[in-house]
Structure 1
């Protein structure tokens, strides 16, 4: 069973680790892809901005603005061979020029405009102005849905731009020119783009880890509960077998050894049998009562109760002799509180019985009633053996019993404190415990006014 459980946990941890690794890798790759797309889009916007800037700085042929754009090229010159015309003083042309007009396709128009703009800028010796260029760059960035501020730098005699830099080389200049765009808060912008995928990935990681944690706790708790159940069965079997053995011995004595003929022995045997049967009946009623409260069959019936008097009545039922003592401290402003006397009776009985079982002799128990904000609290404290801190989170679990050499022989089913917690919840109360070994234990129940 343990090997199978270890193997199950190993597979679960391996699965969660792989899910976490996959999610982290996916987020990293998504971030890198966004970074590449950002650089590519910004570089494309910068190239278009340079083209727009150069076109505005120079006057282009009007034929490019026609419905069907054309461009006329100078092809060659032909000397004027008219000798008579050459001797005429009013001759105008010594050469004839030959031109060619071509039609520009719409698909190639943008590329042609870019080349013309750069050629004209070279011929006119027009330098690049970063401030003016930045205005065109901002407009192009908005088209790419990029809202990160940039700083433009125009460098001459610069090296070729790298793939990770947002830079564009400007050709046709006598000296190489590179326009570089330096972003501000690029990482922040990229994380804004990836915040939703990263959040979903983080949520999946948390859900996977949380599911594993909950599953592990459930399995461990189920194993512990199964152990407690087996201990409870063994314990209750032992507790029932002992009185049954006594009853059998008593009946056998009455039948076989003639004890029925002796009035004194008969009375003693019957009295012993009555005590044992009453004890068994009380244990059965207690278990059935716990089941009814857990199923919600029995509900609280609130009324005005003198809780201090109720505590005295319950403590008087226990066989305490001097110098044993139960001290009751009542510090509430009202003599009576609104509660269910039968439920509170069971709470007192279980806590006092528990304190007596685990107390040193002489027994000393304090029952304190104190006011709190919007209610009151009940404390039952003893100066007994105490409980180690390891056991405190589990003592209200059903069937749980502290297994130590000191208290192993204390009789019980591990149901008392679980029952008290259930009763406190029915009264809308909150129960807690504070304890240290050899210093005693204090149970505190806080009841809040409705």
Structure 2
């Protein structure tokens, strides 16, 4: 069984790793594509801003002044960057400029306009005017916002003359646009470097990312739930097997004793000796009562599982119950037991019979799961609008791994196929049923080799 469970676990784990790995690779690839798309969008936005700036400079140059107008038409080559960053030559602009009417003739006026425009275009490639990067950055940020590609960036100028050098990303930046030549500065290019576009990627991949995370979480949860169910079923199977073994032993013992007593009466002349006959009959009666008690106990637990316990609340003095039970266990215990009782006199309302059984079960467990000698301390006092009782022993203790399950039905701390202390695992389950039915709480503090402390609190009904 363990080998099969181990095989199933490793196969399922391998399957989960494969699914998560492929899903993670797909998300990473999608993120890379989204980052590349962001880089293209940023580059196109930079080209647009630079072209817009070039047109603005030309419009400022050709803006008419005050005075009469003279018009002319001239074919001029004008440089304009296309989407790929290449220079195109465009044929013709219609230009107009205001000049004084008495300055020159109409022909001279047309020539003056052409010469002024040519002078600007030529001088822009031979001089080094000042570049306003802050103005360019503001326009670029606005363009990025319009395209939905906002991210923290910085501008850098790059010299285009001389040998090309590999572009190095500044520290903390992940995306960089190609250098774009400036129309007014032919030997200078500008490029933008961006920090990781996380928010842009989240906006673009939001649906995919949320769906993938939900799918992975659901798959992992199903895997964990299925594994927990398998382990729980395995645990229940072991508990059931242990219960059947103990029940078989407990039922066979009184039957074997009664059978031996009857055979003695029938075949060994015990009937002729009234004293022996009474002794055998007393033994048989005791074992039959024990057998009946075992059966009633199991049936009672089965009924309690389907229907809640029926309580008959009455005024009970816990100190009196504890005194009766201590005296009873001192007489019936098969080992040396020393009691230390500190129960404050008080009166509470609860079911007397069930409370008596609860305290008796706790004392009985403290005696059974201890060494040859045991000291049991019983403390009881009012607490938080109720009453608390604690039964502490110096027995073998309970490992921490098993403490959450000690109040489950049929549960016993695993000891292999050997159980030196017989039982069905129903005593503490019954304790939990009674305390919860009263609206109380249970606590357990235990350490292997140092003993256990069972405590319950009942509200003031």
Q: Say yes or no: TM over 0.5.
A: yes
- Residue 280 of structure 1 deviates from its aligned partner by 1.0
CA distance in structure 2 between the aligned counterparts of 1:142 and 1:388, rounded to whole angstroms: 63
Q: What is the CA deviation profile of residues 418-441 of structure 1, one whole-angstrom value per residue up to 9, with x for unaligned ones?
A: 322333332333333233344322
Alignment of 1:17-416 (within 5 A): 17-59=17-59, 73=75, 122-123=121-122, 125=124, 128-157=131-160, 159=164, 164-170=175-181, 175-184=186-195, 186-187=197-198, 190=201, 194=205, 197-198=208-209, 200-318=211-329, 319-320=331-332, 324-331=337-344, 335-373=346-384, 375-404=386-415, 408-416=419-427
Q: What is the CA deviation profile of residues 321-351 of structure 1, one whole-angstrom value per residue up to 9, with x for unaligned ones?
A: 79744332225xx812343333322211211
Q: What is the CA deviation profile of residues 237-271 of structure 1, one whole-angstrom value per residue up to 9, with x for unaligned ones?
A: 12111211222222233333443344323322221
- Residue 12 of structure 1 deviates from its aligned partner by 0.8
Change (3 A) 1:93 1:225: closer
Secondary structure (helix, strand or coil) at the match of 1:58 reads helix
Deviates more, 1:155-164 or 1:263-272: 155-164
- Residue 128 of structure 1 deviates from its aligned partner by 4.4
Change (3 A) 1:74 1:57: closer
- Residue 136 of structure 1 deviates from its aligned partner by 2.5
Change (3 A) 1:120 1:152: farther
CA distance in structure 2 between the aligned counterparts of 1:408 and 1:295, rounded to whole angstroms: 29
Note if contact 1:424-1:445 (Cα within 8 Å) is conserved in structure 2: yes
Note if contact 1:52-1:136 (Cα within 8 Å) is conserved in structure 2: no
- Residue 443 of structure 1 deviates from its aligned partner by 1.2
Gap regions ≥5 residues in structure 1: 63-70, 76-90, 98-117
Secondary structure (helix, strand or coil) at the match of 1:369 reads strand
CA distance in structure 1 between the aligned counterparts of 2:158 and 2:118, rounded to whole angstroms: 19
Secondary structure (helix, strand or coil) at the match of 2:176 reads coil
Q: What is the CA deviation profile of residues 157-181 of structure 1, one whole-angstrom value per residue up to 9, with x for unaligned ones?
A: 2648969522442266673332212
Match of 1:102 in 2: none
CA distance in structure 2 between the aligned counterparts of 1:171 and 1:377, rounded to whole angstroms: 86
CA distance in structure 1 between the aligned counterparts of 2:382 and 2:322, rounded to whole angstroms: 17
- Residue 61 of structure 1 deviates from its aligned partner by 9.0
Q: What is the CA deviation profile of residues 190-219 of structure 1, one whole-angstrom value per residue up to 9, with x for unaligned ones?
A: 457656654554454444344333332332
Secondary structure (helix, strand or coil) at the match of 1:176 reads strand
Note if contact 2:50-2:182 (Cα within 8 Å) is conserved in structure 1: no
Match of 2:451 in 1: 440
- Residue 396 of structure 1 deviates from its aligned partner by 3.0
Q: What is the CA deviation profile of residues 71-108 of structure 1, one whole-angstrom value per residue up to 9, with x for unaligned ones?
A: 97479xxxxxxxxxxxxxxx9989xx9xxxxxxxxxxx
Residues 1:429 and 2:440 are matched in the alignment: yes
- Residue 276 of structure 1 deviates from its aligned partner by 0.7
CA distance in structure 1 between the aligned counterparts of 2:107 and 2:200, rounded to whole angstroms: 64
- Residue 307 of structure 1 deviates from its aligned partner by 2.0
CA RMSD in angstroms, aligned pairs only: 3.8
Q: How many residues in Structure 1 have an aligned counterpart in Structure 2?
A: 404
Compute the TM-score of the two structures, normalised by the length of structure 2: 0.75
Note if contact 1:384-1:441 (Cα within 8 Å) is conserved in structure 2: yes
Deviates more, 1:167-176 or 1:177-186: 167-176
CA distance in structure 2 between the aligned counterparts of 1:386 and 1:93, rounded to whole angstroms: 115
Note if contact 1:376-1:447 (Cα within 8 Å) is conserved in structure 2: yes
Note if contact 1:122-1:172 (Cα within 8 Å) is conserved in structure 2: no
- Residue 372 of structure 1 deviates from its aligned partner by 4.4
CA distance in structure 2 between the aligned counterparts of 1:56 and 1:140, rounded to whole angstroms: 16
